[in-house]
């Protein structure tokens, strides 16, 4: 249950038991059917690395990986994640070693305020998994679901382009 406030029982609607793997840890949770994955993470589990920018699937700030695929957590009901693997920005690094895309974002200054950044990075990792990004234009197009109001796009592009090979290798190692 919550690290903060327990949610009172709503009349007649039972919370559903959900079991998911969150950043490599098995979690058993009771979740109201209307709770989004985003609100589950931010408000009930105090995992605020995943950001809320619009709550309507319009900005990408809430992007996380569900079974390796990038999804908008604000458009995903938490109960839909039963039995799935959820990876958030907090779960990308291996110990002290940053994921190559995280490191490249620092090296290329691919952010300013940092608020869109967790979503950008998760989205980029998801894009790597999709394996369809071959050119700079592909990356631009496939990263266009993530708004950066600070306008860091050219550096985001450079960072991802630079990190692509290492990110592919990283994903391969993860599978072994």
Partner 1 sequence: MNSTSPIGQPLPRVDGRLKVTGQAKYAAEFEIPGLLHGSVVNSTIARGRVRRIDTTAAEAVAGVVLVLTHENRPPVASYDEPYQDDDAADGSPFRPLYNDRVLYSGQPLALVVAESLELARYAGSLVRIEYDVEPHQTDLAAVREQAHPAPEEVPSRGDFEAAYRGAPLQIDHEYGTPIEHHNPMEPHASTVHYQPGDELIIHDKTQGVQNCMRYVEGVFGLEGKVQVHSPFVGGAFGSGLRPQYQLPLAVMAALKLKRSVRVVLKRQQMFTFGYRPRTLQRLAIGFSPNGRLEALHHGSLGQTSRFEDFTEHEVEWSGALYACDNVQLEYRLGSLDVYTPIDMRAPGAAIGVYALEAAMDEVAYAAAIDPLQLRLRNYTEINGNQGKPYSSKELCACYEQGAERFGWSRRPLEARSMRDGHELIGWGMATGVWEAMQMPASAKACLAADGRLIVSSATADIGTGTYTVMTQIAASALGLPMDRVEFRLGDSRFAQAPLEGGSATVSSVGSAVHQACVGLREKILDAAQQSPASPFTGASLDDVAFEDGELVLKREPARRVPLTQLIQTSGTLEAEASVKPGDEREKYATGTHSAIFVEVRVDEALGTVRVTRVVSAVAAGKVINPKTAASQILGGVVWGIGMALHEETWTDHRLGRYMNHNLAEYHVPVNADIHDIDVFFVEEQDSVVNDLGSKGVGEIGIVGVAAAVANAIYHATGKRVRDLPITPDKLL
Which 8-state DSSP code applies to residue 29? E
- Closest to 148 measured CA to CA, from 21, 28, 63: 63
Q: Which stretch binds partner 1 (CB under 8 A): 12-20, 76-84, 91-99, 165-173?
A: 91-99
Q: Indicate whether 170 belongs to the interface with partner 1 (CB under 8 A).
A: no
Q: How is the beta sheet containing 69-72 ordered, strand by strand?
A: 25-31, 16-22, 85-87, 63-66, 69-72
What part of residues 37-96 is at the interface with ligand FES (CB under 6 A)? 52-55, 57-62, 72, 74
Selection from ligand FES, partner 1, none that 4 binds (CB < 5 to 8 A by kind) is partner 1
Q: Indicate whether 102 belongs to the interface with ligand FES (CB under 6 A).
A: no
Residue 19, C-beta contacts closer than 8 angstroms, at least 6 positions apart? 26, 27, 28, 29, 82, 83
Min CB(119)–ligand FES separation in Å: 8
Residue 97, burial from CB neighbour count under 10 angstroms (0-12, 13-18, 19+): exposed
Q: Which stretch binds ligand FES (CB under 6 A): 78-86, 93-101, 105-113, 127-135?
A: 105-113
Residues that bind ligand FES (CB under 6 A): 52-55, 57-62, 72, 74, 111-117, 148-150, 152
């Amino acid at each position: 249950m919550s690290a903060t406030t327990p949610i009172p029982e709503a009349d007649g609607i039972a919370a559903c038991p959900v079991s998911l793997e969150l950043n490599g840890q098995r979690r058993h949770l009771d979740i109201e059917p209307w709770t989004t994955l985003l609100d589950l993470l931010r408000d009930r589990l105090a995992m605020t690395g995943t950001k809320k920018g619009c709550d309507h699937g319009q900005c990408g700030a809430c992007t996380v990986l569900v079974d390796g695929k990038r999804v908008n957590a604000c458009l995903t009901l938490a109960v839909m994640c039963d039995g799935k693997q959820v990876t958030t920005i907090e779960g990308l690094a291996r110990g002290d070693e940053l994921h190559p895309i995280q490191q490249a974002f620092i090296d290329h200054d691919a952010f300013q305020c940092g608020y869109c950044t967790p979503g950008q990075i998760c989205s980029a990792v998801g894009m790597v998994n999709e394996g369809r990004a071959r050119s700079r234009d592909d990356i631009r197009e496939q990263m266009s679901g993530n708004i950066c109001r600070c306008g860091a796009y050219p550096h985001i592009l450079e960072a991802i382009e630079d990190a692509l090979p290492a990110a592919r290798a990283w994903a391969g190692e993860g599978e072994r």
